[in-house]
Chain A
């Protein structure tokens, strides 16, 4: 407690949930408006992009698929950084941040998997191939689900926060290993049977809409993250109030 008072660092200004709420409150509508505008612009640009000579109209799926995949990973990075904050500095909002990011990350990973499958079917033939990239994203999805199961299983909030942070961190160390091992596994067992869609340089006509969409997704994540963090703080307040009420009722 005294630590918070002494440190001048700016990040600690956010350590106070009340102050966080004061800052997040007006920020959320602004961010939401910018997100909506970016989505409108990004979608307009996407639908006006020329047809790809190889992919035809399916290139439209890219504009929603690729940002979802990026965000799935970005969200896990946010959680890993928050886990460090929670374990090392005991930052009070770090745990809130991990919890708030969890469902969003899982949703984006699910989106990346489903839209990827819908894109893969007309391009490759099968709905799903055990390609290195697909498999590692699937593993990421399992990690998200496991973490969600974990916080639901532990009742004590302090232990839940610790466990969540530790498992998140261990998972983040492992994701590169999984990626690497699965890459290797794929080259061993499936010698390039799928023609992976990869072009060295993307045409500007596709690149700009993609970038705008990616920015829109990122801001969407930030908005949702702030909203969920706010909800989580309220949830904790309600919990303390309930317990206090119960205690008062007992005392009276």
Chain B
């Protein structure tokens, strides 16, 4: 298990791996925002948390189709499926490694982008905390989408369509919590707790569905 985890991270770290691409895409999205809405600093600070969340969500979606594609191509996916471990556990480990390689850099880069959006330190901290808790959920749901589309040649866009409705709750609670930390009447903890609950829920459901799908797509 640990070997699998480490191997995943090493692969993603290489040039052409998902980590750098996701980060650059995140940067591109955040850079586009001021051009689209105008360089008004107050406005940027207000929409900042929402934009950071949207950017992080899109760049997480972007890397998902690579989750099983490589293994599928060189045949090691079948080996993993035939192994002694439950498939859901394998998917869980793979998704976790994928998140560490692609999601975690996004979270760590958030302060820089937050400063570019003229956000207060409290808001930046809140966005980081919510992204840290929330992006794993996107990866876990995405694992299901990646498993469904793994056999397809042109699956990339399909994942986005299938997964988009499922990540809406994550986005809603993530952004609510981020705003809750800055704006007074809105609370921080309830949506944050909901976000944690959703992540835990999908960390079970996503790998189970993906594992089921992979087993049946294989035969």
Provide the bound-state CA to CA distance between A173 and B205, in Å: 10
CB of B169 within 8 A of chain A?
Answer: yes
Given A153-B158, A166-B148, A188-B176, A182–B209 Cβ distance below 8 Å? Answer: no
Given A153-B152, A154-B152, A171–B165 Cβ distance below 8 Å? Answer: yes
Q: A170: which B residues are within 8 A, CB to CB? A: 144, 166, 205, 209
Min CB–CB distance B176 → chain A (angstroms): 6
* Contact between chains at B164 and A142 (CB < 8 Å): yes
CB of A114 within 8 A of chain B?
Answer: no
Given A150-B158, A153-B158, A159–B151 Cβ distance below 8 Å? Answer: yes
Secondary structure call for the A interface: helix
Min CB–CB distance A182 → chain B (angstroms): 7
* Contact between chains at B216 and A162 (CB < 8 Å): yes
Q: A188: which B residues are within 8 A, CB to CB? A: 176, 179, 186
CB of B213 within 8 A of chain A?
Answer: yes
Q: A140: which B residues are within 8 A, CB to CB? A: 165
CB of B198 within 8 A of chain A?
Answer: yes
* Contact between chains at A139 and B186 (CB < 8 Å): no
Min CB–CB distance A165 → chain B (angstroms): 10
Q: Which residue of A147, A156, A171, A184 is within 8 Å of B166 (Cβ)?
A: A171
Q: B20: which A residues are within 8 A, CB to CB? A: none
Q: Which B residues, 117 to 161, have Cβ-Cβ distances below 8 Å to chain A?
A: 144, 148-149, 151-152, 154-155, 158, 161
Provide the bound-state CA to CA distance between A142 and B50, in Å: 22
Q: B164: which A residues are within 8 A, CB to CB? A: 142, 146
Provide the bound-state CA to CA distance between A149 and B198, in Å: 26
Q: B151: which A residues are within 8 A, CB to CB? A: 154, 156, 159
Q: A185: which B residues are within 8 A, CB to CB? A: 172, 176
Q: A153: which B residues are within 8 A, CB to CB? A: 149, 152, 154-155, 158
Min CB–CB distance A159 → chain B (angstroms): 5
Given A167-B148, A174-B166, A184–B213 Cβ distance below 8 Å? Answer: no
Q: Which residue of A147, A159, A180 is within 8 Å of B216 (Cβ)?
A: A159
Residues of B within 8 A of A (CB-CB), count: 29
* Contact between chains at B217 and A159 (CB < 8 Å): yes
Q: Which residue of B186, B205, B217 is within 8 Å of A162 (Cβ)?
A: B217
Provide the bound-state CA to CA distance between A140 and B179, in Å: 27
Min CB–CB distance A147 → chain B (angstroms): 8
Q: A181: which B residues are within 8 A, CB to CB? A: 168-169, 172-173, 194
* Contact between chains at A163 and B205 (CB < 8 Å): no
Q: Which A residues, 124 to 142, have Cβ-Cβ distances below 8 Å to chain B?
A: 139-140, 142
CB of A178 within 8 A of chain B?
Answer: yes
Given A159-B216, A177-B198, A185-B176, A167–B152 Cβ distance below 8 Å? Answer: no
Q: B77: which A residues are within 8 A, CB to CB? A: none
Min CB–CB distance B114 → chain A (angstroms): 21
CB of A66 within 8 A of chain B?
Answer: no
Write out, one digit per residue, whether chain B residues 191-219 have a CB within 8 A of any chain A CB (1) or not (0): 10010001000000100010011001100
* Contact between chains at A174 and B212 (CB < 8 Å): no
Q: B158: which A residues are within 8 A, CB to CB? A: 146, 149-150, 153
Given A153-B158, A163-B148, A163-B213, A174–B165 Cβ distance below 8 Å? Answer: yes
| 8 nearest A-B residue pairs (beta carbon) | A181-B169, A146-B161, A185-B172, A181-B172, A146-B162, A162-B216, A163-B148, A139-B165
The chain A residues found within 8 Å of chain B, CB to CB, are 139-140, 142-143, 145-147, 149-150, 153-154, 156, 159, 162-163, 166-167, 169-171, 173-174, 177-178, 180-182, 184-185, 188
> What are 23 pairs between A and B in contact, CB < 8 Å?
A140-B165, A142-B161, A142-B164, A146-B162, A146-B164, A146-B165, A149-B162, A150-B148, A153-B154, A153-B158, A154-B151, A159-B216, A163-B148, A163-B217, A167-B162, A171-B166, A173-B205, A174-B166, A178-B169, A184-B191, A184-B194, A185-B172, A188-B179
Given A147-B162, A170-B166, A180-B169, 13 other A-B contacts at CB below 8 A?
A139-B165, A140-B165, A145-B161, A159-B216, A162-B216, A162-B217, A163-B217, A167-B148, A167-B162, A170-B209, A178-B168, A178-B169, A188-B186
